[in-house]
């Protein structure tokens, strides 16, 4: 049964990741790629099974789900439904090493978990919007790959699942705004191509996408080039009422990004502590937004309150309480 394989893959991965510091090979591009591919194979099998009886979405991280399949290491489940503090995020992917923001799972229509070698994301197939995208950035991801020329359907979702399309954006007045940026994945052409999927974009104004939002993307890469590793999560924020484009794709009122900056370029990185720099930004998705990201800094906690997510969920709660309530003020 496929679910058994998937569960075994989770446990096997969990066994080779040291938390909170990543195992030395966890963040290294080649290793991360191969282990994720093996892991993905399990999930793809699992997906096939899910399509057969789509009526029963399975929550990957409920204790009753896959982690239970094998008598793996003991885990504790927090009240948020996430496994902690043993590191469910790190067990899943180097891109979610600091934790999963919510209970997304393969097959959950409103929070479908997509694990890729290049990033991890949660997609709402009912509302046709990403919820969050999480990725690790270090210099191993930066190179000279050619920027892909077109967006395509994310083939990791079944065709029966809702997904935004190119036609939704055409003549909408909004750009296809990457969450995990194209320029953060320039190590190889396939890695760059992977960012050009409709599960990784939201309708974004030119002023934000090409302006304020872009300045923050530049900052993250600048930090990586300074020898840091940056753990990023980005996503849309919606108001009480939504504007829509095309066949019902919602337009965010703002986009958020959280960047956790730790020392060490590739591989082993230190755990997040109360002195770790954490940047959280909320950029209004308006036609008039302008200027540097620095003017739009907020606390992580305020974004948690706006979205219902728990960022840095695998970081000790006492540390979260410090770094998530502080607003970055570095120049």
| Residue 163 makes contact with Mn ion by CB under 5 A | no
Part in contact with Mn ion (CB under 5 A); list of ranges 41-49, 66-74, 103-111, 307-315: 307-315
CA 165 to chain centre: 20
Q: Does 320 bind Mn ion (CB under 5 A)?
A: yes
- Per CB under 5 A, does 314 bind Mn ion? no
Nearer to Mn ion, 13 or 102 (CB): 102
Among 311, 314, 323, 328, binds Mn ion (CB under 5 A): 311
Instruction: Tell me which stretch binds Mn ion (CB under 5 A): 214-222, 232-240, 271-279, 309-317.
Output: 309-317
Indicate the residue among 287 and 325 with the shorter CB distance to Mn ion: 325
Stretch near Mn ion under the rule CB under 5 A, chosen from 69-77, 253-261, 263-271, 320-328 = 320-328
With tokens 């000790």, the residue in question is 316
Nearer to Mn ion, 296 or 311 (CB): 311
Q: Which is nearer to Mn ion, 212 or 307 (CB)?
A: 307
Closest separation in Å from C-beta 270 to Mn ion: 19
Of the candidates 40, 47, 48, 156, the one whose C-alpha atom is nearest the C-alpha of residue 93 is 40
Would you count residue 303 as binding Mn ion (CB under 5 A)?
Answer: no
Site string for Mn ion, 252-291 (x = CB under 5 A): ----------------------------------------
Backbone angles phi, psi at 131, to 5 degrees: -100, -45
Which listed residue (116, 176, 178, 185) is catalytic?
Answer: 178
Residue nearer to Mn ion on the CB measure, 197 or 303:
303
Asked if residue 102 binds Mn ion (CB under 5 A), the reply is no
Q: Which residue has the tokens 């399949």?
A: 69
CB of 58 to Mn ion, least distance (A): 25
Minimal distance, residue 77 CB to Mn ion, in Å: 16
Which region, judged by CB under 5 A, interacts with Mn ion, from 5-13, 19-27, 44-52, 314-322?
Answer: 314-322
Q: Taking a C-beta distance cutoff of 8 angstroms, is the pair 113, 105 a contact?
A: yes
User: Is residue 130 classed exposed, middle or buried when 0-12, 13-18 and 19+ CB atoms within 10 A define those classes?
Assistant: buried
Catalytic, 95? Answer no
CB of 320 to Mn ion, least distance (A): 4
Nearer to Mn ion, 207 or 272 (CB): 272
Q: Interface with Mn ion by CB under 5 A: which residues?
A: 310-312, 320
Catalytically active residues, by annotation: 178
């Amino acid at each position: 049964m496929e679910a058994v394989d998937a569960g075994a893959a989770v446990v096997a991965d969990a066994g080779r990741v040291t938390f909170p510091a990543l195992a030395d090979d966890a963040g290294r591009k080649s290793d991360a790629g191969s282990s994720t591919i093996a892991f993905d194979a399990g999930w793809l099998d699992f997906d096939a099974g899910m399509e057969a009886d789509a009526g029963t979405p399975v929550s990957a991280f409920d204790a009753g789900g896959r982690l239970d399949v094998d008598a793996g290491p003991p885990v504790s489940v927090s009240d948020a439904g996430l496994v902690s503090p043993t590191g469910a995020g790190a067990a899943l992917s180097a891109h979610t090493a600091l934790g999963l923001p919510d209970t997304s799972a393969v097959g959950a229509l409103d929070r479908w978990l997509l694990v890729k070698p290049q990033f991890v994301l949660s997609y709402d197939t009912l509302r046709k919007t990403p919820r969050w995208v999480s990725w690790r950035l270090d210099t191993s991801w930066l190179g000279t790959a050619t920027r892909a020329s077109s967006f395509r359907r994310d083939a990791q979702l079944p065709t029966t699942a809702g997904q935004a399309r190119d036609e939704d954006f055409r003549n909408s007045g909004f750009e296809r705004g990457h969450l995990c940026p194209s320029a953060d994945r320039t190590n190889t052409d396939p890695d760059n191509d992977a960012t050009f999927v409709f599960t990784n974009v939201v309708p974004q104004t030119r002023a934000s996408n090409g302006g304020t939002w872009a300045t923050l993307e530049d900052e993250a890469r600048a930090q990586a080039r300074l020898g840091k590793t940056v753990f990023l999560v980005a996503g849309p924020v919606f108001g009480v009422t939504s504007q829509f484009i095309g066949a019902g794709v919602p337009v965010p009122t703002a986009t958020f990004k959280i960047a956790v900056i730790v020392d060490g370029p590739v591989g082993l990185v230190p755990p997040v502590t109360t002195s770790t720099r954490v940047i959280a930004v909320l950029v209004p998705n308006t036609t008039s937004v302008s200027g540097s990201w620095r003017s739009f800094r907020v606390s992580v906690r305020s974004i948690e309150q706006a979205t219902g997510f728990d960022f840095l969920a695998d970081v000790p709660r006492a540390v979260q309480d410090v770094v998530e309530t502080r607003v970055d003020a570095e120049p």
